Amino acid sequence: MAFSRSVFEFLGGLLVVLALAGPVGAGVPVGGWELEKDVDMPTYAFAEPSRADVNIDTVVLSCEQGPERHGLQLRIDLSGPGPLAALSAGMPKDDPRVEVAIDGVSHEARLLFADDFIIVADSADGDMPLLSDGLVRALQRGRQLELRFDLLQEQTGQTPAFDGSAVVELQAWRGGPAVATLKRCAGDRGQHLAETPRTR
């Protein structure tokens, strides 16, 4: 059976499209913010790391109320009971530290530990730890968030170094728009504060 020229042209064009698209699934975004569902005004979004070598399950960005202002808070939910820990062996240090890197640009922050989650913050309103406006803008515009952790004790004379990290793809799915939605929540004086789930 002879194929017409138009069929060969169609098949050739299809092969070109597939070649440009790359392997199946290569263009599918991994991770990304997922907004609170089934509400008019979402008060939180969560994301699963695309890769991590610490025991992190999800990262949560939520709308919170301080004594003087609303703001956004970044929270870490762990994958199980116990402290935040690197998967590599070592003795945990008493004063672990964190660095927030967005598209390779570092931002100073600190870790605050609650009973079953951890807060990453670089600002505060009274006793309420929050993210600064500058860090929120970076989260909204950036493509990749990396949380770098220094969790393990160094040997005597050894320079402190990061020994664990978690990466979140910010622009996957609804990256920038998700942060913009939560910023509107934080700017709404009549908003309901986030009731973020302890487990999903």
Q: Domain holding 64: CATH number?
A: 2.60.40
Decide if 8 is inside a domain.
no
Q: Using DSSP, state whether 82 is helix, strand or coil.
A: coil
Answer whether residue 12 is part of any domain.
no
**68, part of any domain:** yes
pLDDT over threshold 60, residue 196: no
Q: pLDDT, tens digit, for every residue of 45-75?
A: 999 999 999 999 999 999 998 888 889 999 9
Residue matched to tokens 């290569």:
26
| Confidence (pTM) | 0.77
Residue 200 domain-assigned (yes or no): no
Q: Decide if pLDDT at 13 tops 90.
A: no
Please state the domain count of the chain.
Answer: 1
Residue 195 lies inside a defined structural domain of this protein = no
Task: Record the tokens describing residue 129, joined without a space.
Answer: 């730890």
Q: Cβ(119)–Cβ(129) under 8 Å?
A: yes
Tokens of 48: 């699963």
Range of the domain at 91: 31-187
Q: Is 16 within the bounds of a domain?
A: no
Residue 54 lies in a domain: yes
